[in-house]
Structure 1
Amino acid sequence: MTPTRSTTWSAARQRQALDLSARYLNGASVPELARASGLSKGTVLNRLHAVDTPMRTPQQTRLLQADPKEAAARQQLADAMGRWYESGTSVPALAAVFECSQRTVRRRLVQAGTALRAPGQTRVLGTDGQARRKLMRSLRDRYEAGTSVPLLAAGCGYSTSTVYRLLHQAGTTMRPRSQPNPGTAGDRSP
């Protein structure tokens, strides 16, 4: 590979571009190359493009650098999420069950080769009682383990009122709401 800008580049810059390309092709990421070389990420990318280096997606880089055992465990997780999703479980419900973000769930589903549904298709499946019961059980278990309702709502992408309703439907014994300080609750004297 020779740099496409060989007429304007010094021999040292050409060697640097080829070295960056070789290290990138052996699994180094652009941020790692930037840290090691002292160049900005943009400069590293420009040098890689100048020598026609085939670029990877961030996910391909993570998979390339991953420990084989971790990669296998991640693939098993993705496959499990795919099975649940194909049985009708929604992305927010999977995020609640697997305790991760909805973005991570979508990424794992794509990794598993699962075709994502349109929002309208998900709403139709939302009437499926089995997926709803799984979500209610997961929320109840996490609530009874001490997680607050606002944290549950943030984790699964539902409003707090929806989470309260699902917890009540699951037969959850609710913790008492925090009481205001008894000395200040009724004291409104000027």
Structure 2
Amino acid sequence: MTPTRSSTWSAARQRQALDLSARYRHGASVNELARTTGLSKSTVLNRLRLVDTPMRAPQQTRLLRADPVEAAARSERAAEMRRWYETGASVAALAAVFDCSPRTVRRLLARANTAVRSPSETRALRSDGQARRDLMRTLRARYEAGASVPLLAVGCGYSTSTVYRLLHQAGTALRPGHRPAPEARGDRSP
């Protein structure tokens, strides 16, 4: 690839632009290139553009440089979010369950090829009888796999009492309630 303005560039500047382009294509970010070369960010961008380097979005840079294990974990997390979301969970509820921001939830749902619903669509989904039965089956499966009722409540956006009612309606055998030990409750025996 030759620079588009080779007549006005010195040979050293042309080599530098081609070197920057090669490093950028192999995953270096514009900020890293600016830091390592001592050039300003705008100079790095100008040199990359002048040698017709295809530019990436920051997300594409992160994906390019991502560790394969981390990428697989992120994809699994996105798929899990999608499963919860399709049963009627809201973006805010998923953010609480997965301990991240709603923006991150939307980004991961988009990565899992999920169209994000409007708030009115979420409310309509919750009032649908089939969706409620699907939610009951999902809650039962997750509860029987070991999930706690408070976690399920946060995940689907309902109160714990509603989750208990849905589990009961789904015919779930509930685990015995766990009460804290007497010393944790503050009971004192004489």
Change (3 A) 1:34 1:104: same
Following TM superposition, by how much is the alpha carbon of 1:167 offset from its aligned partner in structure 2, in angstroms? 7.3
What CA RMSD, in Å, does the superposition of the two structures yield over aligned residues?
2.8
2:113 is the counterpart of 1:100: no
Cα distance in 2 for partners of 1:123, 1:45 equals 46
Partner of 2:150: 137
State the Cα deviation string for residues 149-180 of structure 1 (Å, max 9, x = none).
Answer: xxxxxxxxxxxxxx9x9578789xxxxxxxxx
Contact 1:95/1:105 (CA < 8 Å) preserved in 2? yes
Change (3 A) 1:140 1:110: closer
Cα distance in 1 for partners of 2:160, 2:117 equals 26
Change (3 A) 1:38 1:86: same
State the Cα deviation string for residues 21-47 of structure 1 (Å, max 9, x = none).
Answer: 000111111111111111222221111
Partner of 1:156: none
Amino acid at match of 2:151: S
Change (3 A) 1:140 1:87: closer
Following TM superposition, by how much is the alpha carbon of 1:109 offset from its aligned partner in structure 2, in angstroms? 0.8
Partner of 2:70: 70
Cα distance in 2 for partners of 1:121, 1:40 equals 47
- The alignment partner of 1:82 has SS state of helix
Amino acid at match of 2:17: A
Q: Percent identity?
A: 64
2:32 is the counterpart of 1:32: yes
State the Cα deviation string for residues 101-139 of structure 1 (Å, max 9, x = none).
Answer: 0011111111111122233312323547649x89x8239
Change (3 A) 1:67 1:39: same
Tell me the matched-pair count.
147
Contact 1:33/1:44 (CA < 8 Å) preserved in 2? yes
In structure 1, runs of 5+ residues without a counterpart are 142-162, 172-190
Partner of 2:113: 113
Cα distance in 2 for partners of 1:49, 1:123 equals 47
